[in-house]
Amino acid sequence: MSDCASCAVRGRAICASLAVDEAAELGRMGRRQRVKAGHTLLWEGDEAPTVANVLSGVLKLVVATADGREQIVGLVFPSDFIGRPFGKQSPYRVTAMTDAEVCIFNRQQFDDFAGRHPHLQQKLLHRTLDELDRARHWMMLLGRKSAPEKVASFLLDMEERLPGDAGGGSGGFELPFGRQQIADILGLTIETTCRQLTRMRSDGLVDLPSRRAVRINDRARVAAMAG
């Protein structure tokens, strides 16, 4: 690993709770790994020998039924943590939606390090609770919301989690994936997804300066639409 002090997500990742010398010790255990779009980092149900901080890119968490049907159950962004500390199996598949880079650790080494640093365990607990809240929100989005509500909820979530100022102006952000991937995330067809985005643009709720740039013009109305 390079110097943790130069890490782009140092102030937001779980290691933000560590002192300089502690972060350096953890950094010596890790290594940077590039993950190409479509590559799977962890497999559902398999032994999970690694955990990782996401440095760049977006990855998806996927669960599958015995007959091969799949459902995206979450997205992972820069500074998020992936893997199962203190556990031997991965409960989901972790696959890169875009080219990504992670700081990856041997799980047993990470577990031993966390066991010696209670403040890191506390940070992991907070992250776990945040992930649980997001999972509950995701259940509502997929199970109960209509197509307009799903798309509006998705855009609000992306506005919160992605860097701003894309598309030229306040409220703008750049989506890291295309319309088909949005449809897959929301459990919709691409036709329905495109129709909802076009309708929102026609109603003046959003601007779509390019295929991936989005600017929310009326956040209150989009929030009302999201339910």
42-54 per-residue burial string, b: 16 or more CB within 10 A, e: under 16: bebeeebebbbbb
pLDDT at position 127 is 85
Each domain of the chain, given as residue ranges in start order, spans 4-142, 146-226
Q: Do domains 4-142 and 146-226 have the same CATH topology?
A: no
Which residues have CB under 8 Å from 58's CB, separation 6+? 75, 76, 77, 96, 97, 98, 100, 176, 177
pLDDT at 104: 94
pLDDT one-digit tens code per residue, 137-163: 888 888 889 999 999 999 999 998 887
Mean pLDDT in consecutive groups of 10 residues from the start of the chain, 227 residues: 71 86 89 94 90 93 85 89 87 93 94 92 88 84 90 93 60 87 92 97 95 93 94
Separation of alpha carbons 1 and 180, rounded Å: 35
Query: What tokens appear for 129 in the block?
Result: 């609770």
| Reported pTM | 0.82
Q: What pLDDT does 33 receive?
A: 94
Looking at residue 14, what is its pLDDT?
A: 86
- Edge to edge, what strands does the sheet with 172-174 contain? 172-174, 213-216, 206-207
* Superfamily classification of domain 4-142: Jelly Rolls (2.60.120.10)
* Paired tokens of 223: 């929030």
User: What does each C-alpha distance from 224 to 42, 107, 140, 146, 192 come to in angstroms?
Assistant: 37, 43, 16, 13, 20
What is residue 165's predicted lDDT score, i.e. its pLDDT?
54
pLDDT of residue 169: 46
Q: Give the architecture (CATH level 2) of 146-226.
A: Orthogonal Bundle (1.10)
The pLDDT assigned to 64 comes to: 86
Question: So what's the pLDDT on residue 201?
Answer: 96
pLDDT at 164: 65
pLDDT for 138: 81
